[in-house]
Amino acid sequence: MRILAVVLTFVLSLPAGAQVAGGAPAQPAAASAVPPPPGGAAPTSAQPSPEGPVKALSDPVLTEPTAPWIGTKAYWKKNFTTPDLNVSLQAPVRLRDYVVDNKLELSLKNYLQLVLVNNTDIAIQRLNVETPKNAIQRAFSPFDPFINSSFNTSRALTPTSNALEGASILSNLNQPLQMRYQQTLENGTQIISSLAWTKASTNNAFQTFNPGYSNSWAMGFSQPLLRNRGFYVNRLPIIIAKSTLKSTGLRYESTLQTYMVTAENAYWDVVSAKENIKVQEQALELSRQSLERARKEIELGATSPLEVYQPEQQYATAQINLTRVQYQLLQAEDVLRRYIGADLDPEVRKLPIVLTEKVEPNLDEKPFDREALVQQAMVLRPDLKAEKEDIINADLQILSARNTLKPLLNLTGTYTTYGRGGNQFLQGGGMIPGSPIDSWGQMFNFGYPTYAMGVTLNFPLRDHNAAANLADTMVNKKLQIFQQRQVEQQIRQDVLTAITQVESSRASVKLARIAVDYSIKRAEADQKRYDLGVITLFFLLSSQTDLTNAQSNLVSSTVQYRRNMVNLQQKLGTILEDKGIVVQ
């Protein structure tokens, strides 16, 4: 028994980290972008450099991921100091790195880097990954050790009814102290160690020990034999929490890809507006020249005054079109400033924006292998990976539900040792003095042991709740499989549609270039014919209008081709890699 007591004492004295595989789990990496933490400075590695890939980190932001041990400095600080509830949001970073000659000059790569580090929407989505991380920490809570203790003191005066009670008015003083340690190990075993110490004094003349001290130390265990038996079953909540975190990270990566597409489209909106302003300015200049020529012809009497209305109307229409595009540019620039956080900086948001990316793309004439690209998307798309992870999670939920169907059969065992001490009054008179040390020594001498072994069995004759929970998990598994098929079908459709859109826009750019070339030649020819008097001003203005429309259509086609290429990258799941964004 001494050996058993020593073994149990050693087990109980082990830190929980040794019994629970290191205590709190190391946080798995999750997909996340690199906006600065809302409180405090951003990590150095989270800031993009002009060269090399942009790294997306997943460090905890607002929450402390570990539960400190009692008595440590971190414990007192975490539990007994007033927390700072103020959250200070850091100002946008690196914007002034791209200010050149009082202008915000941005290439597409630099722009996307600023979106990653400053965009508020991405920062919000990044924080959503923190909750599943904390769920892993919470899943370890069943293995946390607990100590319960209590101390009471009571004085009781009671009248006696006979002389055998040892006093006319019985006075009793009781001071019990109890301490209990309890912990569940990862294999399901529950270990218990309880210590009880009591001091009792009375004026009862027949009391043998007065004051008397009694001690007891009980050590026991409860081992599940059916339900909750084994390491795997008891660690299922931890495994499920880690699977949930992985799924959340993959969905965040999918959301990040969508944000990248939306952000790049905002970039091309500004480029498109700037190019359209050039086209409309050219159209306005042509209209102005035609109006001036018509007025001179009227002054010279070469044509009727009625001929001035058409060039005046053409000039007014060109002014309207230019004004409309200018306001479209202002609106597009405001959207772009919000994406990079420039609207939060009072100085930077006043600066004009210069975008250095060329609108004319290099058309790739290589035909697409549709089926190969579909299969590539099936491998790389994070939303499909998340669905597959959800199926794994559903299997784990089924195992957990099946465990609750088993009867609760536990093997229990306890070992208790006792001790007593104090001033001992002999029947023939006299007293042997004693102290609390006597009771402690007697207890640790293990001379008065009590052994107990038992089996407890608890099971319902019918368990509707557990059966329904298992049925729900089976339905959820089937639902996840159907959702995976749904996503696979959607991916195929998305990729094929994106390929068709790229091919269509590529053909549109080619045709638009041809149309602009012929429109230029026609406008030049009509100008010469008009100068020779072969055609009227009506035909010249018509060719100039067609030229403006052709140039505007070329701008729209080229920008749309850019957008369709970005959309194809998203549908293939390669946009982050193509943009040099590394998710860690």
Profile the chain (584 residues) by mean pLDDT over runs of 10 residues: 44 40 38 35 36 47 64 85 84 92 93 93 91 92 93 90 79 93 94 94 84 93 94 94 94 94 95 92 89 83 80 90 94 95 92 90 86 96 96 95 94 95 81 87 91 93 93 96 96 96 93 92 88 80 88 91 94 91 70
Q: Are residues 577 and 540 in the same domain?
A: yes
DSSP for 467-533 reads HHHHHHHHHHHHHHHHHHHHHHHHHHHHHHHHHHHHHHHHHHHHHHHHHHHHHHHHHHHHHHHHHTT
Question: Could you tell me if residue 232 is left (phi over 0), alpha (psi between -120 and 50 degrees) or otherwise beta?
Answer: alpha
Is residue 63 assigned to a domain? Answer: no
pTM above 0.75, yes or no: yes
Q: Are residues 360 and 493 in the same domain?
A: yes
Beta strands in 311-401 (DSSP E): 353-355
**In the listed set 403, 424, 455, which residue is the last one of a domain according to the structure?**
455
Q: Are residues 348 and 294 in the same domain?
A: yes
Secondary structure element (H or E) that encloses residue 425, with its range: strand 408-425
Is residue 7 assigned to a domain? Answer: no
Q: Are residues 326 and 285 in the same domain?
A: yes
Domain that holds residue 244: 237-393+471-583
Is residue 496 assigned to a domain? Answer: yes
First to last CA, the chain: 54
Q: Are residues 425 and 322 in the same domain?
A: no
**In the listed set 402, 421, 455, which residue is the last one of a domain according to the structure?**
455
Q: Are residues 331 and 187 in the same domain?
A: no
Tokens 């570990």 -> residue: 66
Backbone torsions φ then ψ of 454, nearest 5 degrees: -160, 170
177 vs 382: CA distance, rounded Å: 58
The pLDDT of residue 55 is 54
Is residue 89 assigned to a domain? Answer: no
Contact (CB, 8 A) for 57 and 32: yes
Is residue 125 assigned to a domain? Answer: no
Q: Are residues 282 and 310 in the same domain?
A: yes
Query: How many domains is the chain partitioned into structurally?
Result: 2
Q: Are residues 429 and 339 in the same domain?
A: no
Q: Are residues 213 and 331 in the same domain?
A: no
Q: Are residues 440 and 534 in the same domain?
A: no
Contact (CB, 8 A) for 220 and 11: no
Q: Are residues 278 and 382 in the same domain?
A: yes
Nearest alpha-carbon partner for 248 in 135, 148, 361: 135
**In the listed set 455, 489, 508, which residue is the last one of a domain according to the structure?**
455
Is residue 44 assigned to a domain? Answer: no
Is residue 338 assigned to a domain? Answer: yes
Contact (CB, 8 A) for 180 and 149: yes
Q: Is 540 exposed, middle or buried (0-12, 13-18, 19+ CB in 10 A)?
A: buried
DSSP secondary structure letter of residue 96: G
User: How many other C-beta atoms lie within 10 A of the C-beta of residue 164?
Assistant: 9
Q: Are residues 151 and 173 in the same domain?
A: yes
Q: Record the tokens describing residue 189, joined without a space.
A: 């075993």
Is residue 92 assigned to a domain? Answer: no
Residue type (1 letter), 9? T
Residue type (1 letter), 321? N
What size, in residues, is the chain?
A: 584
